[in-house]
Amino acid sequence: MKKHILVIDDDEKLCQLLSDYLSRYDYKVVTKTKPTEGLRFIENKPVDLIILDVMLPEMDGFEVLKNLRKHQQIPVIMLTARGDTMDKIVGLELGADDYLPKPFEPRELLARMQSILRRSEQLSSTEPLHWISDHLEVDGHKRTANLNGQYLALTTMEFEILLLLIRNPSRVISRDDIMEEIRGIDWDAFNRSIDVAVSRLRTKLSDDAKHPKYIKTVWGRGYQFIGTVKQHGE
């Protein structure tokens, strides 16, 4: 079954290039040059992955990503002509799944797309995944988390970290392992973004770093989920 890819970029030549190139690898590609058109398209048509430019008319890619993450967990690869490391970190913290500076080789974009989509397929092919720890519930298939019955608005990175930790209770997981598990590539430059994401995740879980209920920092080693975990139905 073909994967559906949405490209949101105001560069019409690049949109055409990506459409032609990715179509050769059996992807169904839709392109939009305006972010509002892209957001409207997503409301009515399911897509498997979004390629999103940062520099856009109407609103920038970061604002588009914020709007998207309010309701959707679709994987997003961000594109930018700027090489600013802070841009990359901001994008990742807002919930981007990968980040590629322009100009880039289409083959590199394709490799990153395939890595992200492969991880999504691996998750969806497993048995139903639903964990409960005290008042926290995490559903791996619906990709949702609830605390005290209330939906938690998590970024992609925050959700992936929570999912990785709750799937491996009591295991200490290093920053490098977290980055490898949730990204599939080595992003040493963004290790600090893991700490920021965990800090924000704790805030949303109302978890005290000094007296944690769910996520403990093991100094010099990484993070550990310390709550009692049950799979749904146990």
Distance of CA 82 to the CA centre of its chain: 21
CA–CA distance, 52 with 92 (Å, rounded to integer): 13
Domains 3-124 and 130-231 share a fold: no
CA–CA distance, 3 with 86 (Å, rounded to integer): 31
pLDDT at 74: 84
pLDDT at 123: 57
Task: Write the CA distances from 63 to 3, 147, 209, integer angstroms.
Answer: 25, 26, 30
CA–CA distance, 65 with 60 (Å, rounded to integer): 9
Query: Regarding the domain delimited by 3-124, which CATH topology (the fold level of the hierarchy) does it fall under?
Result: Rossmann fold (3.40.50)
pLDDT at 223: 95
Q: Which CATH class is domain 130-231?
A: mainly alpha
pLDDT at 108: 92
Can you give the residue ranges of every domain in the chain?
3-124, 130-231
Q: For the chain, list residues with pLDDT below 70.
A: 82-87, 120-128, 182-192, 232-234
pLDDT tens-digit series, residues 98-150: 888 888 999 999 998 988 888 766 655 555 578 999 999 998 777 788 999 88
pLDDT at 185: 44
Contact 133, 124 (CB under 8 A): no
pLDDT at 188: 47
φ, ψ (nearest 5 deg) of residue 114: -65, -40
pLDDT at 189: 44
pTM: 0.66
